[in-house]
Structure 1
Amino acid sequence: MQDARRPEEGYFGIGVYQAKRQENVGVLWRGAYQLGAAFVFTVGARYRPQPSDVYKTWRRLPLFSYIDVDALMAAAPYDCPLVGIETEGIPLPNFEHPAQAIYLLGAEDSGLPKALLERCHRVVSIPAVRSASYNVAQAGTLVMYDRLTKRQHGQEDS
């Protein structure tokens, strides 16, 4: 299995903009560790450790907190595009993951604001049978799983 944190194979981070529920950040963090993320982050909200995190993910995968999107972008690694995850975008089955990426999910109740979507280099959407949106941690986990499986099966990096 590939380690997505090895530079020659690319890397990614994933985070939530103005998360409402700390539990969702914790679930996303655990999934990010399992699926090879190099880091996780929050924008506009600080994460408080959850007693349910018996795996102590913070010892294995860093979490960064940014006061706003400008701070996130100032700290972004070189050549690491911002990929928004929202209801309107390139359908995930057709999406080619960049070698390096910062995936950004929106708040549970309001998603990513239009002004922030315009700052994203790409926007990806997750198909669904129903019109209701996914839970933010589920959406992030689906995107990370898609990245992992496509890279394992030889998707060309764009």
Structure 2
Amino acid sequence: MQIAKQKISIGLVNPKNPVNVASILRAAGCYGVASVFYTGQRYRFAKDFNADTKAFHKVIPTVGVDSLREVVPEGASVVAVELVEGATPLPAFEHPDNAFYILGPEDGSVGADILSWCDSVVYVPTYSCMNLAATANVLLYDRLSKSDYKSGDALIRQSRDTNNKAKIN
């Protein structure tokens, strides 16, 4: 499986649900994320859960760390994604070329201790809070939609499931 890596990494603050992490790994593979880091013990204890990741867990390093601050990729801008007053709405946000996105736990928030060293804080405007995997997917799609991405039938053929051969006549 060939995945075009970008200068994008994701940091997860003490993720709770292995299904959400598996979904984030799938999104990471779809959108070219280079690596995923996570803190806390909850996912470490549950990571053997086998969900559909389309084998992205084999090609995207997923690393447990004690501190996300210590693994910020070189030259990356740190962007927290959190429903916090004063944050920038995602539709108005310009994504940095080299980004380290930090997402909070499903049952909590990115703490003030982390927010204090982030370069930007954004939120997804919704009528209620989304789960962790949905937030990651929206964030990464927003980044793609604002970029100069390749489009067309070749990309469709590369991206779709092997059982999908549909064409518009």
- Would you say same fold, with TM above 0.5? yes
Give me the whole-angstrom Cα distance separating, in 1, the residues matched to 2:119 and 2:72. 13
Letter aligned with residue 63 of structure 2: F
- Percentage of pairs with the same residue: 31
- Please report the TM-score for the alignment, with normalisation by the length of structure 2: 0.77
Task: Look up the equivalent residue of 1:51 and give its one-letter code.
Answer: N
Stretches of 4+ moved more than 4 A in 1? Answer: none
1:84 aligns with 2:83: no
Q: In 2 relative to 1, CA 16–54 (structure 1 residues): closer, same or farther, beyond 3 Å?
A: closer
Structure 1 pair 87–54 and aligned structure 2 pair: CA distance change class (3 A): closer
Higher share in strand: 1
Which residue matches 1:8?
Answer: none
Q: Match for residue 63 of structure 1?
A: 62
Structure 1 residue 118, shift from structure 2 partner: 1.2
Structure 1 portions without partners, runs of 5+: 6-10, 154-158
- Stretches of structure 2 that go unaligned for 5 or more consecutive residues are 150-169
Answer with 1 or 2: which has the greater Rg.
Answer: 2
Letter in 2 for 1:117: L
The number of residues matched between the two structures is: 142
Report the Cα distance in structure 2 between the residues aligned to 1:15 and 1:106, rounded to whole angstroms: 9
Could you say what the CA RMSD is over the residues aligned between the two structures, in angstroms? Answer: 1.8
Q: Give per-residue Cα distances to partners, 1:44-101, cap 9 Å, x unaligned.
A: 232613322362222221111112x2xx322322211211000131100110101101
Q: Matches of 1:78 and 1:99 in 2, distance apart?
A: 12
User: Partner of 1:124: helix, strand, or coil?
Assistant: strand
- When residues 54 and 97 of structure 1 are mapped into structure 2, their CA distance, relative to the original with a 3 A threshold, is closer
- Corresponding residue number in structure 2 for 1:156: none
Q: Is the aligned partner of 1:25 residue 2:21?
A: yes
Change (3 A) 1:122 1:54: closer
Q: Give secondary structure in 2 for the equivalent of 1:151.
A: coil
The within-5 A match list for 1:124-135 is 124-128=122-126, 130=127, 132-135=128-131
